[in-house]
Structure 1
Amino acid sequence: MITVSTDGSCLRNPGGAIGWAWANHDGSSASGGHPSGTNQVAELMAVLEAICSHPGDQPLVIQADSQYAIKCSSEWVAGWKRKGWRTAGGGPVQNLALIQSIEAAIADRPGPVSFVWVRGHRGDEFNERADELAGIAARGVRDGVPVPAAVVAPEPDVLF
């Protein structure tokens, strides 16, 4: 089983620079950003990037502090799809392209994807790491120093 924590950051909601990040519990991570967005877009991007970065048949557990991202990705999506991508009130689904991309990534992944909510900013090591990386990415984009969305491998074990 692979466990990954995700988080998003928006420096001014809406319209400010955003950052997203995932932190695999094995120590690897990735982050990136965009000059403008919302906190919800950042959270959804983190989920999408985590799924796309972890292909294969091993079960993938995504831990997130965003109820919105979790419910969009796992609960509400089926009803929206059934209703022609309309909400219960008949309005358009917000962030539709990202939600459809998450749905497709989950469907294309041979292994199952599940979600677990964690309380943010409460000392969970991996949630805090994802939060830190997302903030760094958002500030980097804002300041013109974008952080590449590259995977950072875990430190190798040193044997003495």
Structure 2
Amino acid sequence: MITVSTDGSCLRNPGGAIGWAWANHDGTHGSGAVAAGTNQIAELMAVLEAITAHPGDEPLCIEADSQYAIKCASLWVHSWRRKGWRTASGSPVQNLELVQGIERAIAARPGPVTFVWVRGHQGDRFNERADELAGIAARAMRDGTYVPVPVAPLAPPVDVLF
């Protein structure tokens, strides 16, 4: 099983620079930022990017400190789809493009994706690392020093014969 921690950072909610990050428990990681958004967008971006960066058959467990992101990706999405992308109150789903992107990424991935909630800022080293990376990206975007780095999916292991 691949285990990845995700986190988002919003420097001024709403409308400030946001950063997102994932930290694979094997040490690899990815992050990114945009000029303006919300904490919820940042959390959803982290989940989406973690899924797309880990294709393949191996089960993927995403640990997140955002109950909102977990519920969007694993619980609410099913009823929202059935209701024509409307909430229980009939209003449009917020952050719809990201929610649908996560749904598509999960459906396209041959291996299963599960979610686990972890309490943020409580010393979990992988959650802390994702938080750190998301914050670095958001601050770099705010300060005008952010340089996007393409995040390539992890390559499948290759057997090498000597």
TM-score normalised per structure 1: 0.93
User: 2:5 is matched with which residue?
Assistant: 5
Is 1:57 aligned to residue 21 of structure 2? no
1:92, 1:121 → 2: CA distance? 32
Correspondence for 2:35: 35
* Alignment correspondent of 1:121: 121
- Give the unaligned 5+ runs of structure 1: 154-160
Pairwise mapping of residues 1-160 of structure 1 onto structure 2 (< 5 A)? 1-151=1-151
Aligned partners of 1:30 and 1:8: how far apart in 2? 12
Instruction: Report how far residue 4 of structure 1 moved.
Output: 0.1
Q: Percent of pairs identical after alignment? A: 76
In 2, Cα distance between the equivalents of 1:147 and 1:63?
A: 26
Task: Judge conservation of contact 1:6–1:23 (CA < 8 Å) in 2.
Answer: yes
User: 5+ residue gaps in structure 2?
Assistant: 155-162
- On the 8 A contact 1:28/1:151 being kept in 2, the answer is no
Kept in 2, the 8 Å contact 1:18–1:37? The answer is yes
- Secondary structure in structure 2 of the residue aligned to 1:49: helix
Q: 1:82 and 1:147 mapped to 2: Cα distance?
A: 40
Q: CA offset at residue 151 of structure 1?
A: 4.7
Count of matched residue positions in the alignment of Structure 1 and Structure 2? 153
The superposition leaves residues 111-137 of structure 1 with CA deviations (integer Å, 9 ceiling, x where unpaired) of 000000000000000000000000000
Q: CA RMSD in A?
A: 1.3
Quickly say closer, same or farther: Cα 1:32–1:88, change in 2 above 3 A.
same
Amino acid at match of 2:90: G
Amino acid at match of 1:69: A
Q: One-letter code of the match for 2:3?
A: T
**Is the 8 Å Cα contact of residues 31 and 147 (structure 1) preserved in structure 2?**
no
Q: Distance in 2 between matches of 1:10 and 1:29?
A: 19
Q: CA deviation at 1:149?
A: 3.7
Q: Helix, strand or coil: the match of 1:27?
A: coil
Q: Secondary structure at the match of 2:115?
A: strand
2: CA distance between counterparts of 1:105 and 1:23? 18
Q: Where in structure 1 do 4 or more consecutive aligned residues deviate above 3 Å? A: 149-153
State the shift of 1:148 in Å.
2.5
Query: Counterpart in 2 of 1:156?
Result: none
The TM-score, its normalising length taken from structure 2, stands at: 0.92
